[in-house]
Structure 1
Amino acid sequence: MKTLLLGDVCPSVVTADSFRKKDIDTLFSDVVPMMKESEFCFVNLECALTEADTKIKKFGPHLKAPSETAEILKELGVSVCGLSNNHIFDYGIDGAKDTIAVLNSVGLDYTGFGDDYGKSRKNYFYEKNGEKICVIAVCEHEFSGALENRMGSRTFEYDTFGDIIKAKKVADRVIVCYHGGKEFSRYPSPRLRKVCRAMADCGADVVLCQHSHCIGAYEKFGDTHILYGQGNFHFLYTIDMECWHTSLAVKYDTKSGEIEFVPLKETDNGIEIAKGDDGKEIMSAFEARNINLHNGVWLDEWHNFCIENKELYIDGIAKAGLDESTETDTKLFAQLLNCEAHNDVWCELYKTWNVTNCLDGE
């Protein structure tokens, strides 16, 4: 089966009108044939499809998009939308219900979301021409995770390893879409690399880390393809960061087990396949990072990234510890502890005596 695995989709202020007008050619250019030719296509829907104004309490932007988005994705040949991310619940239960209703109305499947914690953990299976694949979409703990008594996204838990093992017993291929990792980091944290390799050991054939908004690095671990950062698929935003504006489309052949990366870049109003020097530049930098995963440089790069972002974390803990700290201050600190990606930064910035092998003496 020729599958196409894509990153974050979120209509923005730049593209919302084009989505409402269903101007597919402007929005997706020469990416259209690639999507329509695939036999299975996955995208991560990084927003709610709703008109609701019921914003939840959270840190960061609240993302929503017009309902026409679902019609466009369906027309492009998308098979299933991943809803396991940190923005699908930005407008609460109303926004989530609206999103599901819109997807259902156009006959577009979704995964990684459920009416409660148990139901959110339902694996997604897709069969074609005698082949059966399973997609497991999970996210880290931020603002959308399902609870025992509330709908939400499928969070990454220890249970996930068992979910992969069970899926592998009945599916030819298992694809894990992990919405996590530190935003804008080109490399995984040591914890994230261990987690992805553990999922590979459990039977995952492909592990895609999304959420970071940048292309990261790739390794083949045994027979498993692991991509630590896919970049945005379609999320045009005015931000002065080169990494935001490029991504990789992942072509995965379930028969042969082969994988291919197609570089994409933003245009003024959409995206296109990066060709010529642009494509070569994206891929050469990507390949250099892949080498760094195997020569130890990635650990230095991860450490440097954490140091560069240290002030955010220092400020967060300082404000939370003050007598006059507000609820917002303490909740921000709690968020920096609770979310795996943020916790990874803490652990890198403030290593224990055991980690640094400095236990001798008092």
Structure 2
Amino acid sequence: MKTLLIGDVSPSKTSKELFRKKEVDTLFTNVKDLMLKSEFTFVNLECAITEETQSIKKFGPPLSAPVETAEILKELGVTVCGLSNNHTFDLGIKGHEDTKAALDAAGLDYTGWGDNYEDSRKNYYYEKNGEKICIIAVCEHEYSYAIENRMGARPFDEFDTIDDIREAKKNADRVIVAYHGGKEYCRYPSPRLMKVCHAMAKAGADVVLCQHTHCIGCYEEFNGCHILYGQGNFHFLGLTDKEGWYTGFVVEYDTKSHEINFVPTRVLSNGISLAEGEDKRDILECFRKRNEELKNGEWKKGWLEFCEKIREQYCSHIAKVCVPGSTPDQDAALGHYIDCEAHQDVLREIFKSWNYTNCIDGK
């Protein structure tokens, strides 16, 4: 089966009106032709499809899209939308109800969501021409995730998710994991994230795609599993000048041959296109070099340097927490950092315990 595995889609201020008017050719240019050739397409829907404006309490912007977004995705041949990310629940229960209604009306499947934590763990299966694949969409713990007594996105759990992958492998020819996590804007995995992906590969995953970071990262094959640490954005225009925001990969995966191909895309002023010429060569060459760093161990240096660059940001926030005069919102930052795996990874690097220096020289 020829599949396309696609990253973050979220209409922005730059593109919302074009989505509302269904200006598909402007929004997707020559990417449209690529999508229409696929037999199966998964996309991460990084927003609620709703006109609701009352957002949940969270750090970061609430993301929403007009109802026409679902219709456009259907027109582009999308099969299933992943809802397991940190923005699906931005507009609360009403936002999710509207999202579900829009996807249902457009005839789109969705996965990575449930009425509570246990319900969110449903694996998604798709069969065609005698082949059966499974999509498991999970996210790190950042606002949208389901809990015991409330709906939400399907969170990654170091025990349950591994069991879910093993179960999927018994029932499907191929298992594809969309893992919404990793540190935003970092092109390298944390040591923890690499261990997580290796564990999922050992459990039976054939492909693991780490989304969420808003930049193209690096790739390795481990235990026969394709692991991409950072897919980059797909359609997420004009929110930042951060390096890497404006390129991404559409992943072509052949379930029969197990071959994978990374197709670079580029953000334009009002849409996206396939990267071409020197731009395409540069994107792929930088990607190749980072892949080599995964093999020779240099990726650890890249990860540590990234953590050092953002040390002051974390120190500044933590210095304002639970001190005289601090606000409840400032204090809430601590809970956010403790909750989310990507923040935990950074904090463990910039605030090393004495265990990492005690008797390190043998004395």
What TM-score range do you get, normalising by the shorter chain?
over 0.9
- Of the structure 1 ranges 348-357 and 212-221, higher mean CA displacement relative to structure 2 is found in 348-357
Distance in 1, matches of 2:334 and 2:245, equals: 26
Q: Is the 8 A contact 1:54 1:94 kept in 2?
A: no
Distance in 2, matches of 1:173 and 1:208, equals: 14
Q: CA deviation at 1:119?
A: 1.0
Distance in 2, matches of 1:283 and 1:351, equals: 35
Instruction: Indicate the residue corresponding to 2:213 in structure 1.
Output: 212
- The amino acid that maps onto 2:46 is E
SS in structure 1 at match of 2:81: strand
Distance in 2, matches of 1:30 and 1:280, equals: 18
Instruction: Indicate the residue corresponding to 1:250 in structure 2.
Output: 251
Q: Is the 8 A contact 2:185 2:242 kept in 1?
A: no
Instruction: Indicate the residue corresponding to 1:261 in structure 2.
Output: 262
- The amino acid that maps onto 2:168 is A
SS in structure 2 at match of 1:88: coil
Instruction: Indicate the residue corresponding to 2:346 in structure 1.
Output: 345
Query: Is structure 2 residue 156 aligned with structure 1 residue 156?
Result: yes
Map 1:132-281 → 2, pairs under 5 A: 132-157=132-157, 158-281=159-282
Distance in 1, matches of 2:313 and 2:362, equals: 33
Structure 1: unaligned runs, 5 residues or longer: none
Question: Structure 2 length as normaliser, TM-score?
Answer: 0.98
Are residues 226 and 106 of structure 1, via their aligned partners in 2, closer, same or farther at CA, if it must alter by over 3 Å? same
Q: CA deviation at 1:350?
A: 1.6
SS in structure 2 at match of 1:97: helix
Instruction: Indicate the residue corresponding to 2:52 in structure 1.
Output: 52
Q: CA deviation at 1:249?
A: 0.6
Q: CA deviation at 1:316?
A: 1.9
Equivalenced residue count is 362
Distance in 2, matches of 1:10 and 1:160, equals: 26
Q: Is the 8 A contact 2:185 2:243 kept in 1?
A: no
Which aligned runs of 4 or more in structure 1 are off by greater than 4 angstroms? 359-362
Distance in 2, matches of 1:102 and 1:314, equals: 42
Q: CA deviation at 1:357?
A: 5.4
Distance in 1, matches of 2:34 and 2:12, equals: 23
- The amino acid that maps onto 1:96 is H
SS in structure 2 at match of 1:354: helix
Q: CA deviation at 1:359?
A: 6.5
Distance in 2, matches of 1:288 and 1:145, equals: 35
Q: Is the 8 A contact 2:216 2:248 kept in 1?
A: yes
Q: Is the 8 A contact 1:41 1:80 kept in 2?
A: yes
SS in structure 2 at match of 1:147: coil
Q: CA deviation at 1:221?
A: 0.5
Query: Is structure 2 residue 40 aligned with structure 1 residue 40?
Result: yes
Distance in 2, matches of 1:238 and 1:338, equals: 25
- The amino acid that maps onto 1:45 is L
Q: Is the 8 A contact 1:246 1:264 kept in 2?
A: yes
SS in structure 1 at match of 2:135: strand
Q: Is the 8 A contact 1:175 1:204 kept in 2?
A: yes
Question: Structure 1 length as normaliser, TM-score?
Answer: 0.98
- The amino acid that maps onto 1:324 is G
Distance in 1, matches of 2:47 and 2:266, equals: 21
Instruction: Indicate the residue corresponding to 2:11 in structure 1.
Output: 11
SS in structure 1 at match of 2:244: helix
- The amino acid that maps onto 2:167 is K
Distance in 2, matches of 1:198 and 1:137, equals: 16
Q: CA deviation at 1:96?
A: 0.8
Q: Deviations over 1:304-337 (max 9, x none)?
A: 1001001121112211131222111111111112
Instruction: Indicate the residue corresponding to 2:71 in structure 1.
Output: 71
Q: Deviations over 1:75-131 (max 9, x none)?
A: 100000000000000011110111011101111000000111111110000000000
SS in structure 2 at match of 1:8: strand
Instruction: Indicate the residue corresponding to 2:99 in structure 1.
Output: 99
Q: Deviations over 1:190-219 (max 9, x none)?
A: 000000000000000000000000000000
Distance in 2, matches of 1:337 and 1:238, equals: 26
Q: Is the 8 A contact 1:41 1:77 kept in 2?
A: yes
- The amino acid that maps onto 1:282 is I
Distance in 2, matches of 1:118 and 1:242, equals: 38
- Of the structure 1 ranges 46-55 and 206-215, higher mean CA displacement relative to structure 2 is found in 46-55
Structure 2: unaligned runs, 5 residues or longer: none
SS in structure 1 at match of 2:355: coil
Instruction: Indicate the residue corresponding to 1:309 in structure 2.
Output: 310
Q: CA deviation at 1:268?
A: 1.2
- The amino acid that maps onto 2:215 is C
SS in structure 1 at match of 2:141: coil
What percent of counterpart residues are identical? Answer: 61
Q: CA deviation at 1:356?
A: 4.2
Are residues 340 and 108 of structure 1, via their aligned partners in 2, closer, same or farther at CA, if it must alter by over 3 Å? same
SS in structure 2 at match of 1:204: coil
